[in-house]
Amino acid sequence: MSRRRGGTTAGRDEGPVQATCEVIARRREGAYWLLSMAAREIAERAQPGQFVQVAVDAPHTLLRRPFSIAHVSRQGASAGTVDVVFDAHGPGTEWMTTVEVHDVLDLIGPLGTPFPLPQRKVNCLLVGGGYGVAPLYYLAESLLRRQLRVDVINGAATAERILGAIEAKRLSASVTFTTEDGSYGTKGRVTDVLEQVASASRSGLVYACGPNPMLRAVSELCDELGLPVQVAVEERMACGIGVCFTCVVPIVGRDGFVRNKRACLDGPVFNGRRIAWDQWGVPGGGVRPGAEAEVVGSGSARGAAAAGSTSGAAAAAEAPPADAVPDAVQAPPPARPARGASAPIDAEADADADAETDAEAGGPPAAEEQRRGRP
Ligand SMILES: Cc1cc2nc3c(=O)[nH]c(=O)nc-3n(C[C@H](O)[C@H](O)[C@H](O)COP(=O)(O)OP(=O)(O)OC[C@H]3O[C@@H](n4cnc5c(N)ncnc54)[C@H](O)[C@@H]3O)c2cc1C
Ligand code: FES
């Protein structure tokens, strides 16, 4: 680990940059850790929902580790800083707890698609689990600048794992805490209170970030309630830049077919109601026995199955899959009836997600402004 001052290796053009970043602060945040880094080129480009890939220097850690951008500062004394909040549980994240102020880390970012912002006036409900609330608070700042009402559900297993309780209160019209053991707020899960909070706050759009099982439960409930929902998923990543297809997520297209989208490039933000949750992580990509598998672009049905595998083992082994193929088209999952008002589901990639948010919650075009990277 070197201790020279940070600087970037790329210019000011659009897209992610690789940067050597000086660590400004490292501290505990309840059960988690926060790292604040001087990364001006990334801070200038970042939008809520995007992530950075951090090079770690622990033994047997070839791959960078992805972390949601929890906050960036573009003004004031801390201008040009990028924060990540992380849970230390494996070699890479444990190593990150040993980093000291003035150390220099190698980052790539901002990566992935941001949360699409509403195009019209709509109340927004942010649902976070564990450290997943961090990028939602960053999103809340953008929503508040648009003078939108923000309500928060912040859930975790225990009180210690509730992140940013004070920040949640500062940013939201109402905040509801849930813990599974009942040590803070309502005993239970975020989905136990979601319908009631969404109704009381008259929310018309839900954003969620947290463990994938939570995102699935939130998406399925929103589907029943007829609420649009954008979720930031986690999938194991190798390259982080769209090359290796380690990180695929099965997304139902408007034509009803399932295509594998890359969480690092097409995501990590997806329309939660478009994720084929049953097919995610299923060996063979969820292609049912006897179902035809067609591959768009170059590749084969075998490749489709390979691309459909979420390849977690490959990432765990620090090696990308060799024969993954993009955009495997699979049999559509059975349709689920909506309990509440019907809402069209359009989003399967970032542009479509903008369209959906526009159609369901939108108004004057904020999408163009968002693409230009303005807050
Ligand atoms: C888009 C995105 C955003 C994320 N944001 C955060 C965040 O804000 N805070 C946080 O604590 N964690 C976040 N994660 C998860 C974080 O990347 C993993 O916890 C971390 O890579 C684990 O590395 P490790 O060496 O400590 O653990 P190990 O489990 O030993 O990691 C081994 C391998 O598995 C991969 N891996 C393990 N768990 C995950 C996971 N949940 N998601 C993706 N890859 C994983 C690692 O990258 C590595 O390649 C995010 C993941 C993604 C994909
Ligand atoms: S990690 Fe997404 S394509 Fe390589």
Q: Which pLDDT tens digit goes with each residue over 131-140?
A: 999 999 999 9
Which residues are paired to 270 by β-bridges? 231
Which of 37, 17, 47, 59 is closest to 350 using CA atoms?
47
Give the ligand whose atoms come closest to the C-alpha of residue 238: 2
Alpha-carbon distance of 355 to 368, in angstroms, equals: 12
Contact yes or no for 32/131 (Cβ under 8 A): yes
- State the Cα angle at 239 between 234 and 242, rounded to 5°: 80
Q: Over the stretch 36-49, which tens digit does the pLDDT of each residue have?
A: 999 999 999 999 99
Instruction: Please compute the mean of the pLDDT values over residues 139-167 and round it to a whole number.
Output: 96
pLDDT per position as a tens digit, 238-282: 999 999 999 999 999 999 999 999 999 999 999 999 999 999 987
* 236 pocket-lining for ligand 1 (C-beta < 6 Å): yes
Res. 215: pLDDT tops 70: yes
Q: Which of 122-136, 202-216, 269-283, 296-310 has the lowest mean pLDDT?
A: 296-310
pLDDT digits (tens, 9 = 90+) for 351-368: 344 334 433 443 333 443
Measure the CA–CA gap between 242 and 16, rounded to whole angstroms.
12
CA distances from 193 to 56, 58, 124, 198, 199 (A): 38, 41, 15, 8, 10
The better pLDDT of the pair 147, 364 is held by 147
Nearest to 218 by CA among 178, 164, 262, 260: 178
Rg (alpha carbons) of the chain, rounded to whole number: 20
- Ligand 2 probe mutation, 67, 237, 260, most atoms within 8 A of CB: 237
The verdict on the CB of residue 238 being under 6 Å from ligand 2 is yes
- Give the nearest ligand 1 atom to 111 CA: 1
pLDDT in the model for residue 58 = 77
Three-state secondary-structure class, residue 94:
helix
Atom of ligand 1 nearest to the CA of 94: 26
**How high is the mean pLDDT of the chain?**
79
pLDDT at 60 over 70: yes
Å from CA of 313 to ligand 1 middle: 13
Tell me how far the alpha carbon of residue 234 lies from the centroid of ligand 1, in angstroms: 8
Q: Please say whether the beta carbons of 243 and 267 come within 8 A.
A: no
Give the DSSP letter of residue 159: G
CA 193 to chain CA mean position, Å: 22
Per residue in 178-210, pLDDT (tens digit) is 999 999 999 999 999 999 999 999 999 999 999
40 Cα–ligand 2 center, Å: 25
User: Closest by alpha carbon to 74, among 110, 41, 43, 47?
Assistant: 43
- Complete domains list, the chain, with CATH: 7-111 (2.40.30.10), 123-232 (3.40.50.80), 248-330 (no CATH)
Ligand 2 nearest-atom number relative to CA 262: 2
Residue with tokens 């005993």: 187
In the chain, pLDDT over 90 holds for what percent of residues?
67
Q: CB-based contacts of 179: which residues, under 8 Å, 6+ apart?
A: 155, 156, 157, 158, 159, 161, 162, 185, 186, 187
**Which bound ligand lies closest to the C-alpha atom of 263?**
2
Is there an atom of ligand 1 within 6 Å of 264 CB?
no
